[in-house]
Amino acid sequence: MDLPPKWRFKLERLKRQWRENRDAQKANYDTSLRMCPSCRALVARNESVCPDCGAKLKSPRARAGTGAEGRFLGVLPMPSSGTSLLGGVCIVLYILSWFMTERMGGAPAGGGMFGLFSYGDINTMVLVRLGAKYGPLMFAGQWWRLVTAIFLHAGLLHIGMNMWVLFDLGPEVESLFCTTKYVVIFLVTGIFGYIVSLWWMPGGISIGASGALMGLIGALIAASYRHGQLGKEYRSMLWRWVLYIAILGLFFSFDNAAHLGGLISGLALGYLVPEGEPDSGTSENLWNTLAILSVIIIAGSFALMALHFNLPFG
Q: What residues are annotated to the active site? A: 210, 259
Half-sphere exposure of 124 (CA within 13 A, CB side): 16
**Number of neighbouring beta carbons within 10 Å of residue 56:** 9
CA angle (173, 177, 182) in 5-degree steps: 65
Strand stretches in the chain, DSSP E: 33-35, 42-44, 71-72, 76-77, 133-134, 205-206
- Using DSSP, state whether 49 is helix, strand or coil: strand
d(CA 210, CA 220): 15
Cα four-point dihedral sign 259, 262, 265, 269: negative
DSSP string for 206-221? E--SHHHHHHHHHHHH
Asked if 114 and 89 count as a contact pair (C-beta separation under 8 A), the reply is no
Closest CA to 167 of 244, 98, 102, 90: 90
User: Quick one: how many helices (H) and strands (E) in the chain?
Assistant: 11, 6
